[in-house]
Amino acid sequence: MSKADKQLREADKALSEADKQSVIEAALAARQQSIAPFSRFLVGAAVRTDTGKIFTGCNIESASYGLTVCAERVAIWKALSEGERNFTNLAIAVDTQTLTPPCGTCRQIIWEFAKHADIVMVNLRDERETVHIENLLPRAFDARFLKEVSGKK
């Protein structure tokens, strides 16, 4: 590999880290907007598109607990509602000692709409871990199963 190729590869890696950091910072900021009067469990999320746009979300609780919405879904739905379809990074920020993965419902939404995104879980102690949805949701349910059934009489 030439010296120029090595420099390009290093620049790409640095850009990738900078992209990841900007998504993390957006998720941390979004966490401050959480409305969690019952659990006091504040969560922020941010998703980056392949064009570099970042969409954020926070969890919003309802007195009717079933109507509560998670930060990850808010961020993804905001991006989808603006016409975005390709995501590169998703950051989830929570103030816990143990890094907090997405809930089961969010895992399903991530699988369906952001399955190629790197998922970075972070806390306020600057600890982080990058995971992929296929590790969080093995044997995921998706539209291919519906197609199998719809083809039968």
For residue 15, which of 69, 65, 46, 52 has the smallest C-alpha distance? 52
Distances (CA, A) of 16 to 5, 50, 118, 144: 16, 12, 11, 32
φ/ψ bin of 83: left (φ > 0), alpha (ψ from -120 to 50), beta (otherwise): left
Average pLDDT, stretch 72-81?
98
Domain containing residue 60: 3-150
pTM: 0.86
Tell me the C-alpha distance between 82 and 119, whole Å.
21
To the query of whether residue 72 is one of the catalytic residues in this protein, the response is yes
pLDDT, tens only, 39-72: 999 999 999 999 999 999 999 999 999 999 999 9
The answer on pLDDT for 4 being more than 90 is: no
Band of residue 11 on the pLDDT scale cut at 50, 70, 90: very low
Mean pLDDT of all residues belonging to the chain: 90
- The two beta strands, 54-58 and 128-131, are unpaired
Query: For the domain that residue 46 is a member of, what is the CATH number?
Result: 3.40.140.10
Q: How confident is the model at residue 142 (pLDDT cuts 50, 70, 90)?
A: confident
Query: Using CB atoms within 10 A of its CB, is residue 29 exposed (0-12), middle (13-18) or buried (19+)?
Result: middle
Q: Which of 72, 112, 134, 148 is labelled catalytic? A: 72
pLDDT at 150 over 90: no
Instruction: Report the domain count for the chain.
Output: 1
